[in-house]
């Protein structure tokens, strides 16, 4: 199966992602080996830190990446990972962010070093993005709940029309046991739309590992579920279409206690 990776810091020399062009080429090679046919480059954009000149620089660098990747038969698309902090409104007003290539989808993240903030704050951020005409894709949702996932809260995000992305590395256990359990709980409850790599390097744990994750997950989940998460929904996003919910085959016991 071919995969589309909607979240990765492949555009070099911008953030804490891939540091050099040389390493970006290595990361692209690894993506190719992992059957990744398209990448959305999503450098961190931090409101209050980055300005219009920075955003233009990010776009130029993504175009350089696109040129290199085209020789490896990998498509590259524009994007960013907008960090939602107290200055976010300024960035929103001034269009200092990069939506996913010609679509109304915008990848956003919260601070992974602490528990997801209070409802009024987080939900307000997302609502503001929504009313500006963008659909938030919430990056690595499993990483914001150090005391266990709040399924109801994630379900509310989905009810509001937001897209839920889980990191491949979380499913491999790179971010610890709780994050891993959170990721699987989300999957088992059908509360994930996309699995992406959040690639930061060409070696180590934060790499383009979709083939490895696919092989692991295929022991537990059916082909169509994984195709929806790793190809169909990413393609829907690139085509500015609605994403699909996954239908996870759950055991009788789990169905009996299904939450709604």
Nearest to Fe ion of 41, 221 (CB atom): 41
Count of residues near Fe ion by CB under 5 A: 2
Q: In the numeric block, which tokens belong to residue 200?
A: 């930061």
Hey, which residues between 106 and 145 contact Fe ion (CB under 5 A)?
none
Tell me the closest approach of the beta carbon of residue 83 to Fe ion, in angstroms: 10
Tell me the closest approach of the beta carbon of residue 7 to Fe ion, in angstroms: 6
Tell me the closest approach of the beta carbon of residue 9 to Fe ion, in angstroms: 6
Q: In the numeric block, which tokens belong to residue 109?
A: 């993240």
* C-alpha dist (Å) from residue 27 to 21, 32, 208: 10, 9, 7
Tell me the closest approach of the beta carbon of residue 46 to Fe ion, in angstroms: 12
Hey, which residues between 157 and 196 contact Fe ion (CB under 5 A)?
none
Nearest to Fe ion of 82, 129 (CB atom): 82
Q: List, edge to edge, every strand of the sheet that includes 81-83.
A: 44-45, 81-83, 105-109, 135-138, 163-167, 194-196
Q: Does 15 bind Fe ion (CB under 5 A)?
A: no
Hey, which residues between 54 and 93 contact Fe ion (CB under 5 A)?
81
Nearest to Fe ion of 198, 232 (CB atom): 198
Q: Spell 91-116 as b/e; 16+ CB within 10 A means b.
A: bbeeebbbbbbebebbbbbbeeeeeb
Tell me the closest approach of the beta carbon of residue 244 to Fe ion, in angstroms: 23
CB–CB of 34/208 below 8 Å?
A: yes
**Phi, psi dihedrals of residue 257, rounded to the nearest 5°:** -105, 20
Nearest to Fe ion of 79, 221 (CB atom): 79
Q: List, edge to edge, every strand of the sheet that includes 75-78.
A: 3-8, 36-41, 75-78
Q: In the numeric block, which tokens belong to residue 210?
A: 């979709």
Nearest to Fe ion of 83, 221 (CB atom): 83
Which listed residue (198, 221, 231, 232) binds Fe ion by CB under 5 A?
A: 198
Nearest to Fe ion of 81, 142 (CB atom): 81
| Residues in contact with Fe ion by the rule CB under 5 A | 81, 198
């Amino acid at each position: 199966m071919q995969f589309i990776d909607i979240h990765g810091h492949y555009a070099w020399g911008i953030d804490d992602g891939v540091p050099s062009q040389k390493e970006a080429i290595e990361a692209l090679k690894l993506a190719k080996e992992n059957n990744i046919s398209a990448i959305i480059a999503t450098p961190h954009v931090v409101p209050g830190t980055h300005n219009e000149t920075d955003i233009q620089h990010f776009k130029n660098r993504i175009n350089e990446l696109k040129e290199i990747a085209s020789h490896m038969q990998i498509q590259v698309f524009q994007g960013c990972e907008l960090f939602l902090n107290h200055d976010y409104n300024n960035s929103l007003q001034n269009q200092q962010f990069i939506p996913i290539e010609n679509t109304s989808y915008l990848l956003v993240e919260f601070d992974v070093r602490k528990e997801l903030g209070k409802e009024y704050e987080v939900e307000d951020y997302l609502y503001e993005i929504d009313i500006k005409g963008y659909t938030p894709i919430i990056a690595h949702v499993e990483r914001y709940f150090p005391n266990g996932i709040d399924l109801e809260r994630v379900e509310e995000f989905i009810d509001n029309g937001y897209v839920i992305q889980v990191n491949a590395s979380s499913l491999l256990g790179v971010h610890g046991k709780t994050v891993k359990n959170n990721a699987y709980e989300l999957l088992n409850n059908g509360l994930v739309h996309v699995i992406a790599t959040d690639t930061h390097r060409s070696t180590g744990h934060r790499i383009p590992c979709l083939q490895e994750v696919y092989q692991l997950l295929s022991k537990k989940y059916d082909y169509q579920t994984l195709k929806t998460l790793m190809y169909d929904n990413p393609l829907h996003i690139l085509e500015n279409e609605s994403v699909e919910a996954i239908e996870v085959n759950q055991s009788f016991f789990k169905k009996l206690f299904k939450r709604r």
